[in-house]
Amino acid sequence: MDNFVEEISTKLDPGAIVRDPELIAAFTTDWTRRVSGKCDLLVRPRDHQGVLDVVQAAINHHIKLQIQGGNTSLSGGSVPLEGEVLLSLGRLCARCAVDPDTLVATVDAGVTLERLQREAMKYNLTLGVDLASRGTATLGGMAATNAGGLHVLRYGSMRSSVISLRCVWGDGTESPRSAPLIKDNSGISLTPLIVGSEGTLGVITELTLRLVPVLNSKAVAMVPFVTIADAVAFAGKVRRMTEAVSAIEMISRRAIRIVEEVKGVVFPIRETFEVAVLLEISSNAGAGDELMEILQGTLLAPQLQSTLLGIDNTSWSGLWQWRESITESIQRVGEPLKLDLSVPVSALGDLWRAVDEVQSDLAGGLDVIRFGHLGDGNIHVNLLAEEEVLDLAEVEIYRRVAELDGSITAEHGIGTLKKEFLSLVRTEWELARMRDLIAIFNPGRTLNPNVLI
Ligand code: MLT
Ligand code: ZN
């Protein structure tokens, strides 16, 4: 370790090398508080060359590195578990350049989503991907984990927004600067491969991202449904009617109750419901009228009466608050086990029933809080219980998801928390090919040795 520190201290600025345990402690527990690691050294290079120097020195001295962006991982993918040196990209954030004619931004990996949103907004542009953790999540981390978020239905996950990347690979080599080419068909592209590889192939240092125009007319409805099956049917009908849908989110009654309890607020819908669907319509003009037409064409009169409408800025952001406050509110009542399940949208009813069955089999010891991205078939199931009950519930729910041809992670990634379950949803052949790729790009597992596989 001393030789490693000696080598990097000749190359990085003094502020880039941190050994103070108190400062390091802020980086070693992940956002869920369920994963805490140990680490004696934090390195924070400011540029691509600095990252290259750190990775090459790590290879020279057989040091393992754990990469971290904003540390907003919800699957333990960003903290060092076994004393790896923490390579934080938080200071690699000088560049955030918008090219308004190409509709792209070129950014350093440590730039936060919120900062890009601010810069892009100067040209009435934004990134299609948006998340509640926008103030902390970094674009490099979002690409490495193929983050999804609130508008996947319209704009896709990060993979759809990344045009090109610059990386330092785990073998100590580097790729060239990322170019803002909208079209480039010159052979096999490594870009879609590294997106979602969770830092097991290389460190992303710079990204060129596709931007989309900000749609200035928005309208939101919160519609209560007595069953998840009714909610799924509604979502399908709406999507067959228009392309203007920018989100179809789901909040269960239990999630609403937790937000009410923690925030001291009262949900305005008093009728009995199992799920509330947040539908957002965005366009350049007349979103409110289009939303009303959609609701009139899909809902019966009593349902229409209990629907909440957000037609102006204040009222639609008020409705979004219910959805965006869930994660933080649950975190205030406990340390949930966060499942991030995905099934075909048409199988959401089966998944709901399977989770209900697991809950009743565990005889009342399990608190189940469901919310998420109904339009994408991605439901977050947060579980609160004694650890042994959580372990049983997790295994059983994942088994049921695999039976439904679903995935154990739609957007949070495998990280360190879901590694043992990866083989439930990926074949031996696929796992072997993942290992082959890691052996090519990150041969000594210098980068993220405990993540993914
Ligand atoms: C969300 O959809 O709110 C995020 O994925 C965060 C979470 O799952 O808690
Ligand atoms: Zn989510």
- Residue 50: which pLDDT band, with cuts at 50, 70 and 90? very high
How do residues 235-269 score in pLDDT, each as one tens digit?
A: 999 999 999 999 999 999 999 999 999 999 999 99
Q: How high is the pLDDT of residue 33?
A: 85
**Domains and their CATH numbers in the chain:** 2-91 (3.30.43.10), 96-213 (3.30.465.10), 217-327 (3.30.70.2190), 334-412 (3.30.70.2740)
Per-residue pLDDT reduced to its tens digit, 58-89: 999 999 999 999 999 999 999 999 999 999 99
Per-residue model confidence (pLDDT) at position 309: 97
Q: Best substitution site from 31, 75, 131, 330 to test ligand 1's pocket, by max atoms within 8 Å of Cβ? A: 131
Confirm if 393 and 362 have CB atoms less than 8 A apart. yes
- pLDDT score recorded for residue 313: 83
pLDDT exceeds 90 at position 209:
yes
State residue 365's pLDDT score.
87
Pocket test for ligand 1, best of 72, 74, 418 (most atoms within 8 A of CB): 74
Per-residue confidence band for 381, with pLDDT thresholds at 50, 70 and 90: very high
In 10 A of CB 268, how many CB atoms?
11
Above 90 in pLDDT, residue 388?
A: yes
Cα 14 to middle of ligand 1, angstroms: 37
pTM of the model: 0.95
**Rg value, the chain, Cα:** 22
Averaged pLDDT of the chain:
96
- Residue 106 has a pLDDT of 97
> Model confidence over 325-364: pLDDT tens digits?
999 999 999 999 999 999 999 999 999 999 999 999 997 7
Q: Quickly count: other Cβ atoms within 10 Å of residue 74's Cβ.
A: 24
Distant-in-sequence, close-in-space partners of 258: CB < 8 Å, separation ≥ 6? 326, 329, 330, 333, 369
For residue 34, the model assigns a pLDDT of 87
CA of 340 to the centre of ligand 2 (A): 7
The minimum-distance atom of ligand 1 relative to the CA of 132 is 3
The DSSP element (H or E) to which 217 belongs, if any, is strand 217-225
Candidate from 371, 382, 384, 408 with most ligand 1 atoms within 8 A of CB, to mutate: 371
- Of all protein residues, whose CA lies closest to atom 5 belonging to ligand 1? 149
Helix axes of 348-361 and 228-241: crossing angle, nearest 10 degrees: 160
Tell me the pLDDT tens digit for each residue of 23-40.
Answer: 999 899 988 888 999 899
| Ligand 1 atom closest to the CA of 148, numbered from 1 | 5
Mean per-residue pLDDT, 142-149: 97
Among residues 125, 297, 301, the alpha carbon closest in space to that of 215 is found at 125
Q: Please give the pLDDT value at position 297.
A: 96
CA–CA separation, 33 vs 38, rounded Å?
14
> Which residues surround ligand 1 with Cβ inside 6 Å?
74, 132, 327, 338, 372, 380
Contact at 8 Å (CB) between 220 and 319? yes
Residue 177 clears pLDDT 90, i.e. is over it: no
Does the pLDDT of residue 10 top 80, yes or no? Answer: yes
Question: 12 C-alpha to center of ligand 2: Å?
Answer: 37
Contact partners, residue 446, CB within 8 Å, separation at least 6? 55, 58, 59, 63, 64, 65, 170
With CA atoms as reference, report the closest residue to 214 among 160, 292, 154.
Answer: 154
Q: Which residue has the tokens 């674009």?
A: 139
Residue to mutate, 33, 340, 380, 408, ligand 1, most ligand atoms under 8 Å from C-beta: 380
- Between the CA of 149 and the centroid of ligand 2 the distance, in Å, is 5
pLDDT of residue 418: 97
The protein residue with its alpha carbon nearest to ligand 1, atom 7, reads 327
The protein residue with its alpha carbon nearest to ligand 1, atom 8, reads 380
Nearest CA to ligand 1 atom 6: 327
Question: Which atom of ligand 1 has the smallest separation from the CA of 380?
Answer: 8
